[in-house]
Structure 1
């Protein structure tokens, strides 16, 4: 998958899956626009990509604010001349039970995870049309779409809602040659995963048939397929990338590794 001459914008780019997306697209020849709210981490990530020889620019972006998103998109087009792929990846996951979740916690989760993707597509749309083969790739999750875990009901709702948005967007944007697809990661080894504790990661690894956690590059590889010419007849689809995590009926249903 070669992306020479293409511009890819990625939200939540300062760490985790977002950084993996930036690195993989950049290594495949794309110019990469990094969008994130964490200025320090964003600049560090952008500098690291440039050190690899990747064409990259950083834009401080609050995806929950339409004006902020519009400025970032305008800056991307000014810097690189086009915008061909919009990767809506930014997300938060405040840990809170249903009983304890405050209205503002629910609202912020929806604002970043769901409304943010809507704003990004809305702002990018004129440029994706000009591209002639525009691509939208959403980072959803198995959580909400397929599975559920305690203290993440609000997060699950926001990620499941992305799939409803995807299906509506597909119908509107198909006549412009724009495809819209979603990647559904399982448990991925990122800085954010550490917030859930080592026990969570250990338990997750135990129920994944391939016996490892996902890496940001695993998610990026799936996103790159959706963004490439190879997927021109694929739209409105959800690809689970989880090492088979959702399949075992019980924890002892996972076969041990061969010796």
Structure 2
């Protein structure tokens, strides 16, 4: 069942990892996808190539989403490519540096907030103008929005703000027929993760009731659902996709 047949979507930060999984799942379900990247142009082209291989439509758009004008340009270009209207936006672009508060500079703090939160604000604002009679916006947040990890204060604070932005935007944009939600992933597997962080991967697998790390397509599936007619009465919601880790007791 192709849940997004006829839809046109922009996925930011779609050159790899979670963004790639989202873009490919959208294409699998029939959406035409604008694949955004900042610097990973070849990776984004590879994603678009896979979509073309599925018989779908895709275009690669480049822009630094810490710049408000670039956010508006990327959204505008995506809508023009799609025939004048977007039906879905997934705000996935983000950064996750590791830095303890004691050594963090104001510039480092602002960089994370501008990337993770500022781009969400600007891209969503621009998308509303090209969604016409309604659409869906999904922000990729994190379980760290409510359960921060050490040395992730800037990241966790930005993701908590992303969740609240979605709730506030759901109130304001609902009368326009635009739904706004968040997906909060747990630990998502990627190439080299088990080698780089073996203890963390082992602990996560032990903690997850479902016994595994997440996959990019798990987040893609959640985003497909939220953009589909199956979620037509879902807005202002944070969908946690973490294999059950946050359901565990803390005692």
**TM-score, normalised via structure 1 length:** 0.91
**Cα RMSD between the aligned structures?**
1.7
Question: In the TM superposition, what are the counterparts of 1:1-259 in structure 2 within 5 Å?
Answer: 1-38=2-39, 39-81=41-83, 82-128=85-131, 130=132, 132-145=133-146, 147-191=147-191, 193=193, 197-249=197-249
Q: 1:122: how far off? A: 1.0
1: CA distance, partners of 2:121 / 2:245: 28
Indicate the SS of the match to 2:75: helix
On the 8 A contact 1:64/1:119 being kept in 2, the answer is no
Structure 1: which 4+ aligned runs deviate by more than 4 Å? 191-196
Instruction: Note if contact 2:76-2:130 (Cα within 8 Å) is conserved in structure 1.
Output: no
How many Å separate the matches in 1 of 2:4 and 2:192?
29
Give the secondary structure class of the aligned counterpart of 1:119: helix
Secondary structure at 2:200 match in 1: helix
Number of residue-to-residue matches in the alignment: 248
Contact persistence 2:63–2:70 (CA under 8 A):
yes
Shift in Å, 1:44: 2.4
TM-score when scaled to structure 2? 0.93
1:1-28 deviation line (CA, Å, top 9, x unaligned): 5212110100110011100010000011
Residues 124-182 of structure 1 show CA distances to partners (whole Å, capped at 9, x for unaligned) of 11112x1x23101111100022x121111110000000111112111110110001011
Answer whether contact 1:16 1:192 (CA < 8 A) is retained.
no
Deviation per residue, 1:41-62 (Å, 9 max, x gap)? 2222222322232211000021
SS at match of 1:183: strand
- What's the CA shift for 1:197? 2.1
Consecutive unaligned residues in structure 2, runs of 5 or more: none
Is this contact kept in 2: 1:34–1:42, CA < 8 A? yes
Deviation at 1:249, TM superposition (A): 2.8
Structure 1 unaligned regions, length at least 5: 254-259
